[in-house]
Amino acid sequence: MDWEKIGYDVISTDEMYIMKSCEDGRFCEGCLIPYGPILVNPNSAVLNYGQGLFEGMKAYRRKDGGIQIFRPQENALRMQMGAERLLLCAPSLQQYVDAIKQVVAANKRWVPPYGKGSLYLRPLLFGSGGVMGLAPAPQTTFLVYTNPIGNKYKGHSGDLNLFIEPNFARAYPGGTGGIKNISNYSPVFQVAKEAKAKGFSDVLFLDAVEHKYIEEVSSCNAFILKGNVISTPPASGTILPGITRKSIIQVARDLGYQVEERRVSVEEALNADEVFCTGTAVGVSPVHSITYQNKKADFKTGEQTVAKKLFDMIRGIQVGDLEDKYSWTLKLD
């Protein structure tokens, strides 16, 4: 593996973890199996009705060669929340973390060297049992696979330039925007493709009711900075409660910034000093510009920004360069 050239391509690793629910609704003991295709019934609830969730996590190599994972318990809790909404069996916190530890240990040769990237972990939870009517599956499958990735998010060669989509909404009040439901993501494909064809990095979606408050980018949370105040849309059901988002809020407050979780209007976002996005895939990514109704607003980026300071803090904890005073990381050695 040429770690200098690693990007965001699909790479087959060695093993994956699988666990299925038993008749009593609890999970039977899981196991590692060779990475590869899985059998799914054509009448499964996940294929017919989209009854499924996924998570995204990363394992990092430290300077000393050890491996650590960032906040796996938070992913487990978020999956449990989504499972309750979709009537899926959910792995316990211990089952989830044990599965993550096993699959990383089995694929540790695929964890890039320090500073070269990370091992992306993709836990899946889906209704694998067959149904003929609109009903939850009688069996749930929990699966975790891995893929080494580079430091740059696919398609993002630098600072982001976003396009505000005024007509299509990503999520609706009372819907599933607040969980990592598999069916939340494919509806953004068309809009994102059209935006990228025009030279934009991604799409910033607005609320579905008034179409005047920013919510999320296709797959990451949004923040704005004005003076000493950092604002981000509230996790009130239409945006994903991101784990990087939660971490940034904590770190920013500890650094002395006033952080507000509230509705942020388009006008306010366009007049911000800085805008940045957060997520497992993108980390903390500065936004260079936002275009809305043919008007372009530019923002401060670079080494002297708050976004860069927050990125350095979070990344330092993730890779073991900074003291983890929050006990966020799980060391595997």
By annotation, the residues acting in catalysis are: 180
Beta bridge partners of 298: 289
Exposed / middle / buried, residue 31 (Cβ in 10 Å: 0-12, 13-18, 19+): exposed
Contacts of 190 (CB under 8 A, 6+ apart): none
How far, in Å, CA of 139 to CA of 136, rounded?
A: 9
What DSSP line would sit under 116-145, residue for residue? Answer: S-EEEEEEEEEE-SB-SSS---S-EEEEEE
Q: What are phi and psi of 160, to 5 degrees?
A: -85, 145
Q: Which among 233, 269, 271, 257 is positioned nearest to 307, based on CA atoms?
A: 257
Q: HSE of 296 in the Cβ direction (CA atoms, 13 Å)? A: 8
- Name the nearest CA neighbour of 203 among 233, 164, 232: 164
Cα separation, 309 vs 313, in Å, equals 6
